Amino acid sequence: MDWRTWLSGIGLEVPASPNVDAIVIAVVLVAGAYWIGWFAAGRIAPRMTAAVHRWTGRLEGMTTKLVCAVCRYGITSLLLLIVGNSAALSPIGLMIVAVALGVSIALLSYHIAKAAGLGGATATVLAAIALIAATAGTLGGMRPLIEGLDGVGFTVGKRRLSLLGGVNAVVIVAVLFVVARIVNRILVHSIGRLHALDLSQRVLVQKLAGIVVIVVAGLIGIDLLGIDLTALTVFSGAVGLAVGFGLQKTFGNLIAGLILLMDRSVKPGDVIVVGDTFGAVGKIGVRAVSVVTRDGKEHLIPNEQLMTEPVENWSYSSRNVRIHIPVGVGYGSDLAVAQKLMVEAATAAQRVLAEPKPSVWLKDFGASSVDHDILVWIADPELGVGNVRSDVLNRVWVLFKDNGIEIPFPQQDVHIRSMPEVRSPERT
């Protein structure tokens, strides 16, 4: 069986002798459509890129080149679709237009899939499906193709599983994934620009919007695929009960994260202390809160832990934080001068606030020194407190040394009241 007979078998009639005029007309129409698409895309792409960035933010990989390719093949596909359905073409001319349309739609599908973040293999599969479907649809051969795909399969119970169903599932899932990803990105970016809400409220609304988009996409996919869930009611109930017991911590962390975002007790950017962890809150996720320490380490603390354990929030109502810096002065030093020098050292430190002013408290009369506390205020606790202490103490050291103020070290006086008499060997 030759190729003409095979094409005729699937409903595509090919003339025995090609018409040169028809071929030339079809090639000119295809070339014109591709040229118009290339020319129009060069003018439209920059504006389209700016609109995409305005609606979705600056996505990684969303370049003008990619948007230009999508516009080019989108316009070309539209023009070829109009030509294939309106122009009176001979069978060979229609075949040329159909193949050109299939290639254009395949390239359009590939670039859209790549723009949506799908992998190269998935994008290639979608492009191949689009090529076959568009070419066969233009030539009127979709019914034989559909019947052929549906014929390859088997029956399980009352449901038939075929190659056509698999292809439909792949296309539906891919399309819903792309649409849901784009819609979610637009919603996240739009909500992020609502300055009427504070940061934590925007994060909460973004997460809820993402959940709604996923649920709606899942329900639409189930409906389009024709999946009947009534037979799985009992089984899904048992599985739900088992998952509820097994994942109760996960759901507890999810609910705790939503509560944290709603009551704004812990917000992204806050400086908190949980147990031995001190740092700035990076983000509040579905399962855990990210806390970045001054060492650059990122601690993931479960949301539920922040609801059940004491949490120090250094920036809950105000970002101003007071730091205690202990300093000991020798008993022989002039305390008034020493305290004045401590205030001077604290005032000169870079991150110490001028208001409220630094102060010095006499804390205790220790065993070896007169203990003081230097009290200073800072407004940027996320930058740490150890460097502030180091800065102030270095200045205190220099000022004390220049002014003869003693910084004592621990020492003890030993008083010997009596000793036993030691007899020499000669006298024994």
CA distance linking residue 119 with residue 236, whole number of Å: 32
pLDDT at 137: 66
**pLDDT band at residue 98 under the 50/70/90 scheme:** confident
pLDDT at 103: 80
pLDDT at 252: 76
Instruction: Give the alpha-carbon dihedral of 121, 127, 130, 131, to 10 degrees.
Output: -120
Asked if the model's pLDDT at residue 185 lies above 90, the reply is no
CA distance linking residue 405 with residue 408, whole number of Å: 9
Half-sphere exposure of 160 (CA within 13 A, CB side): 9
Question: Which residue has tokens 């995409």?
Answer: 52
Q: Could you tell me how many helices (H) and strands (E) the chain has, helices first? A: 13, 10
Sign of CA dihedral 153, 156, 158, 159: negative
User: 277 forms bridges with which residues in the sheet?
Assistant: 274
pLDDT at 393: 93
b/e code 350-382 from CB counts within 10 Å (16+ = b): ebbbeeeebebeeeeeeeebbbbbbbbbbeebe
Q: What is the pairing mode between strands 277-284 and 288-292?
A: antiparallel
**Which strands make up the sheet holding 359-365, listed edge to edge?**
321-329, 370-378, 359-365
**pLDDT band at residue 62 under the 50/70/90 scheme:** low
Domains of the chain: 3-151 (no CATH), 252-313 (2.30.30.60), 321-402 (3.30.70.100)
pLDDT at 191: 74
pLDDT at 146: 57
Which one is predicted more confidently, 176 or 335? 335
Instruction: Give the alpha-carbon dihedral of 62, 64, 67, 68, to 10 degrees.
Output: -160
**pLDDT band at residue 331 under the 50/70/90 scheme:** confident
CA distance linking residue 359 with residue 376, whole number of Å: 7
First-to-final CA distance of the chain = 133
Q: What is the pLDDT of residues 213-230, one digit of tens each?
A: 888 888 787 777 776 666
**pLDDT band at residue 427 under the 50/70/90 scheme:** low
**pLDDT band at residue 394 under the 50/70/90 scheme:** very high
pTM: 0.46
Rounded to the nearest angstrom, the gap between the alpha carbon of residue 242 and the centroid of all alpha carbons in its chain is: 30
Asked if the model's pLDDT at residue 320 lies above 70, the reply is yes
